[in-house]
Structures are given as structure tokens and as C-alpha cells.
Chains A and B, each alone.
Chain A
Amino acid sequence: MRVKVWGARGSVPSPGPKMNRYGGNTSCVQLTLDSGEILILDAGTGIRTLGLDLATAPKVNILLTHLHLDHIQGLMFFPPCFRSDVEITIWGPASPEASLEDRVARYISAPLSPVEVRELPCSVSFRDTRPSEWQIGSATVRTESVNHRGPTLGFRVTEGETTLCYIPDHEPALGATLAELEPEWVSGYDLACDADLLIHDCQYTDEEYPEHAGWGHSGMDDTLTFANRVGARRLLLFHHDPLHSDDFLDELHATARRRWGELGGDPALVEMGMEGGELEVAPAPVSASVRASV
């Protein structure tokens, strides 16, 4: 499977001359399966430019981890929404409060939007999603609730022998010491276990994290510990803080690689989510994963 990042920023779009390399668009990842089908992970502002690339796609599956604005803001500007020959399926977390459609419609409705969901020319359906597993084309998609603010899902997508895990907003270390917990008590563990590529929240440095504990995001040390615990082969650091410039993220990347090496991993396998970046994801040899024993 192939991954293309259309937006790696967290919280709010943050364009500007100091953000050009990593990009200012919010969460959106295109996953192209070996069978040719396309899954879209989240609909932050990056989905707008992705939509320009999907001029002829008759079916689109969008998997929303949650409904914070940085994960849905691009929906209203997603070109396929305005084509009558497109069938769009939107999967997102169920909530006891209201249906997925009703919650998304709070954004795509007056006064925030000039159009309503029912006015979109495309054929759109909403799937309220609970922890479960299902097929989309050649991929098996598994989802679990993960620790963030409000109903939030992580996704594990498996095609053949290749597995990608996407948990862009995640604070697994809240109130817990990740390195010491048994796997069954680690949020997201099953989803990320032995993933060939783990795309994971790394919004804060370790120095910044204490001021943001409980906000639903991870500091670098917790991200690396989580990735190490689950045995992820490659790690893509994601959901960059809107205050982090390109130069700052370069330094964060260098530090993450050094620490990953100290944990016994290959530093080259820690990468940064970068707008426009593409990765080929392939199954790992068994010996390729690094995992601490507990």
C-alpha cells in the first residue's frame, strides 16, 4: 500500500513562510491500496487538494478518527462532494449524543457553511462506527476507541501482509506510565501492534507536554515509548503543533531519531509527517520490529 500525506498539522491550519516544508494543512492521509482502491484518513484541510487529484473516482471512503475541526474542516471544500456521480461513505465515531451525520452537519450548515449536507450533489452516507472490523475493498479495517478528548477512533488497515495504523490524536500516557503497563491496559495497543507503519500523534516535545497533559496529545517520549511497546517497524510523527516551525520540527526529528536509536531501533525508520510526502508501506521481516519486554 502507498501513503501520501496531504496534511500533517494539528489543531489549526498554520500556513506561513516558516511552515512551508512540513506544511500548514491539517490532518489528511491518502492510502492507496495495492488493489488500487483509495481510503482517506481524516478530512482536515489537506483533503481539499487531495480532492483535486480525485477527478474521476466514482467511490470515496473517508475514515474520520473524530470530529474536531482540524479533522473535518476540509470536508466542505472537498471537490468530490460537489459531483453528482460520486458516492462518498464517511465512517466516524459513534456517540450517545447524536448521529454522525447530525454531528458533521453542525459544521456543514448555517451559519458556518453556505450549504447543508442534504444539498451536496454527491451521494453521501454516514456510518456510525464502534470498535469493530470490516472490509473496504481489499483492506480489512479495524477500529478501536483511543484516548483523546471526546469519542475518538484509531484505525488499523491491513491489506495482505501489510498493516498500517493511524492514531493521529492520542494520549496513551495520561495518568499512566506507558513503559510499565501490561499491553492490555495500553490505549491503542491492539491497533498498533506490529504495524509496518504507525502514524502517530507527536504534537509536543517532552518539555512542552507537562503544560498540555490532558489535552489528548502525546509528547515525544510517550510517542516513542508507545511505538516501541507495540513493535512498530516504522514510525511517522504526525499532528505537528501549529507553533512548530520547519526548523523546530527538524530538530524534533533529529532528537526523535536519536532516542529511537537508544531504544534499539533503526533511527532511519522514524520519519516526519510532511505535506506531500509519500511512503511505500511493505510488510516487515519478523526481526525488523523493536519492542521492549515487560
Chain B
Amino acid sequence: MGVMAARTQKPLELILARNLLTSISTPAFLLDEHGAMVFYNEAAGALLGRSFEDAGRMSAEEWISAYGPFGDDGKPIPLDDLPATQAVRMGRPAHGVFRIRSAGGAEHEIESSTFPIVASEEGSSGAMILFWRLDANHGDEVPR
């Protein structure tokens, strides 16, 4: 069997993951096998202050630059140090506590769990990242 020529369609496991994330009220991102953010749900859009429809697909560098996560020094955490990167590359779940910044400039402390999506021994197809806000100042941005 050979390798397919042109493939425009996402792997089925990513399609199903997106459909799931669309249906839940926990803020969540979907990353592809390169770590690019290919979808986030309405709850995540409320947290980030910008809907996915407005933002569109973003490379790993773009979403880190826009939203973080940031370290205690206020600088974006390097891509290689992120648990999500490890999850995509190593195919292992990861967990962490970070600060992110919404499109409106508000900072939030969040806890995130990243679940790699592995459909075959050929490696990870991407990952789902689910978020929980830890800061007390929830405001009106997050559905409770």
C-alpha cells in the first residue's frame, strides 16, 4: 500500500474530537499533529474573548504569542516547555497550571489537561486541551 497523494481532510479522530468539543461547555482547544490550534469551542472563546470563527486556525507560535501561556515573568512559556507540546510529540497526557491573556488583555490563571489523540502506532494526530479557571475574578467571560 502506498501513501496517499493529496489529503485535504482532517483525520477522522480529529473530526470526532472537534464534534465532541463543540458539544461541551468546558473550554477546550484542539491541536493538530504539528501543534497548530485548529479549533476551540465557544466556552474557550468566551475565556479568550474571541471566537474561533473570528480567530481561525493559528500555528503554535501564533497562539502562544496571542494568548500565552505566560510564566511568572510575564513572558510566553517556550513552546518546547509546554505540556501540550510534550503531549503531541510524545503521545502522553500532560497537566499544568498557567496564566493566559484574553484578547481584551485580562489575565486568567488556568489549569489545563492535555489528552493526546493517538489513532495508530504511526503517532499522534493531535491533542485536546481542556481548561479550568482558577482565579476568583471570573467576570462574565466564562459560562459557569
Contact = CB atoms under 8 A, between A and B. Distances in A.
Given A96-B120, A176-B19, A132 B10 contact: no
A142 B8 CA distance: 14
B13 to A, nearest CB: 8
Nearest to B39: A185
Interface in A127-165: 127, 129-134, 142, 144-147
B2 A174 contact: no
Interface string A105-146: 000000000000000000000010111111000000010111
Nearest to B5: A133
Interface string B106-144: 000000000000011110000000000000000000000
B22 A175 contact: yes
15 contacts: A131-B4, A133-B1, A133-B5, A144-B12, A145-B12, A145-B119, A147-B12, A175-B22, A175-B23, A176-B18, A183-B9, A184-B9, A185-B9, A185-B18, A186-B9
Contacts of B23: 175
A189 interface: yes
A132 B120 CA distance: 13
B10 A184 contact: yes
B10 A175 contact: no
A129 B4 CA distance: 13
B118 to A, nearest CB: 9
Given A146-B12, A186-B15, 16 more contacts: A94-B120, A130-B1, A131-B4, A131-B11, A132-B2, A145-B13, A147-B16, A175-B20, A175-B23, A176-B19, A183-B8, A183-B9, A184-B10, A186-B9, A189-B8, A189-B9
A222 B65 CA distance: 39
A176 B22 contact: yes
A187 interface: yes
A266 interface: no
Contacts of A246: none
Nearest to B9: A190
A142 B120 CA distance: 18
B12 A174 contact: no
Contacts of A132: 1-4
Given A184-B9, A185-B18, A133 B3 contact: yes
Interface of B: 1-5, 7-13, 15-16, 18-20, 22-23, 119-122
A232 B82 CA distance: 44
Contacts of A186: 9, 15
B7 A190 contact: yes
A134 B1 CA distance: 5
Contacts of A175: 16, 19-20, 22-23
Contacts of B2: 132-134
Interface string A169-209: 00000111000000111110110000000000000000000
Query: Which 6 pairs of residues, A with B, have the shortest CB-CB distance?
Result: A175-B19, A145-B12, A190-B9, A132-B1, A134-B1, A133-B4
